[in-house]
Amino acid sequence: MKAPGLRPLWGGPTRLMVPPQPLPPSQPPCRGRVPGAVPASRYFAALDSSVGDLRQRAQRLIDRVNESRKEDHSVLSGFRDSLLLKVSDLAEQLEERLFQLYSLHNEQIQQRLHELAEVMERVRQAEDELQHVCRTVEAAYKDLCLQPEA
């Protein structure tokens, strides 16, 4: 947003605004001498010189402030780039560590699944043996029931 009557000195969000410099008149407003007055030209020349010096000093200060802001912006940009690089490196390390953990967990899961498969095979064998025993007992019971009593 621009303030009325002010001009920007530096582009960017925090620029200094200064009032426009009035142009010096090409001729003084009074052409003739005022009787009994001290020659004003020396006084005004000294005053103009002082005002000009103040303007130059103020402009140099503003220029230094703007240069300082540019340097701050440059330092901040460098810091941002450095920080982004560091965060990227840390994210990459974290991702690598996660993949290592996934690999370790996969090995443990595979080992447990193998153990489970072995246990299930033993359970199947036990079921087969139990069915065989049941058939044998059933056959023996039938044989006992069919034998004549002596």
Q: Return d(Cα 150, Cα 147) in angstroms, integer.
A: 9
- Using an 8 Å Cβ cutoff, are 8 and 2 in contact? yes
Cα 101–103–104 angle (5° rounding)? Answer: 65
Please tell me the predicted confidence (pLDDT) of residue 41: 73
pTM beyond 0.75: no
Rounded to whole angstroms, the Cα distance separating 82 from 88 reads 10
Helical segments of 10-39, H only: none
Q: Is the pLDDT of residue 1 over 50?
A: no
Radius of gyration of the chain (CA): 50
Helical (H) or strand (E) element with 148 = none
Which of 28-37, 40-49, 124-133 has maximum average pLDDT?
124-133
Distance CA 39, CA 44 (A): 9
pLDDT > 80? residue 150: no
Mean pLDDT for the stretch of residues 29-33: 51
Which percentage of the chain shows pLDDT scores above 90?
A: 58
Alpha-carbon gap, residue 145 to 52, rounded angstroms: 134
Question: Cα(81)–Cα(89) distance, rounded to whole angstroms?
Answer: 12
Pick 8 or 111 by higher pLDDT: 111
State the average pLDDT over residues 49-77: 94
